[in-house]
Amino acid sequence: MVPELEKATVRIRQLERVMGIIRSIKAQGRNKLQVISDFDMTLSRFGCNGRRCPTSHNILDNSRVISEDGKKKLKDLLHYYYPIEIDPNRTLEEKRPLMVEWWTRAHELLSQQKIQKGDIAQIVRESDVMLRDGFHELFDQLHKYNIPLFIFSAGVGDILEEIIRQANVFYSNVNVVSNYMDFDDNGVLTHFKGPLIHTYNKNNSVLQGTEYFQQLSTRTSIILLGDSMGDLTMADGVPSVENILKIGFLNDKVEEQRGKYLDAYDIVLESDETLDVVNGILRYIL
């Protein structure tokens, strides 16, 4: 059915159940399907050439427009809060206020750096960001069949939109909800618009008023793509879900996090920098 599921990176706890969901999504037809995806470390790569790839925030943090002092402070925040973000021994309730703290502090620091709207394209071009191998096929397939792709990101919307624009895949079926920058009349960053989206509030609470899912209420089959335990609630706003297939990229601390990921995601992809499995499933369904 889907030969890509034989890849060594694939782990599935309940294979028959997964096959059942995939068959059912196919039977419902492509007009019922929507894809809901995280961005950083899900559509973009976690590592490349033995090094970490940047998140949309890191692209700004590391760019030439940030002062040396600003860079150091942003890096200190990352080193303090990232281990908390992925700690399998802390509850989401414990993590939530700390994530708000991280994002708030980082956005304050970035807002002091006089970042110009007009510099964003160049900042992205000069960064090491990479989309996962196979991104072209993914975006092209979804566009060809007019299947909505909803990117729900706790990263920086202006940056991630520029990444997919430069990759020539920002098609009309792609919608983004994320943290967006606000600029003054001179095009200088002053603050980030609300509501703040962090790793662990990616649910209905920040989608109020966007009406996005209501318009898609007939799209009752969902493929959800994420890399964090916080990504599992991204489809909560969909009014009636008939079939949902959750695919999780397990990028970091693989051994420690495996159990939780296998409990929560239908398919877990361990240290897999490609979209092969997602593309294989879509090829079968479409």
Q: Answer yes or no: 182 catalytic.
A: no
Judged by CB under 6 A, does residue 85 bind ligand C5P? yes
Judged by CB under 6 A, does residue 200 bind ligand C5P? no
User: Interacting stretch for ligand C5P, rule CB under 6 A, among 32-40, 129-137, 206-214, 275-283?
Assistant: 32-40
Residue 159: both structure tokens together: 């940056």
Closest-CA residue to 213 (of 203, 199, 228, 198)? 203
| Helix locations, the chain, DSSP H | 15-28, 56-61, 68-85, 92-111, 120-125, 135-144, 157-166, 212-215, 254-264, 276-285
Q: Answer yes or no: 38 catalytic.
A: yes
Judged by CB under 6 A, does residue 257 bind ligand C5P? no
Of 205 and 218, the one with the shorter C-beta distance to ligand C5P is: 205
Q: 161, 124 in Cβ contact below 8 A?
A: no
Residue 161 interacts with which of Mg ion, ligand C5P, none, CB < 5 to 8 Å by class: none
The span from the CA of 81 to the CA of 93, in Å, is: 15
User: Interacting stretch for ligand C5P, rule CB under 6 A, among 78-86, 209-217, 254-262, 266-274?
Assistant: 78-86
| Segment (H or E) for 229 | none
Contacts of 120 (CB under 8 A, 6+ apart): 158, 159, 162
Judged by CB under 5 A, does residue 252 bind Mg ion? no
Residue 102: both structure tokens together: 């991280």
Pairing of strands 10-11, 267-270: antiparallel
Of 18, 34, 46, 57, the one binding ligand C5P (CB under 6 A) is 57
Cβ at position 110, least distance to ligand C5P in Å: 8
Cβ at position 199, least distance to ligand C5P in Å: 5
Which residues in 138-197 contact ligand C5P (CB under 6 A)? 153-155
Binding residues for ligand C5P (CB under 6 A):
38-41, 55, 57-58, 78, 82, 85, 102-103, 106, 153-155, 199, 228
Q: Which residues bind Mg ion (CB under 5 A)?
A: 38, 40-42, 227
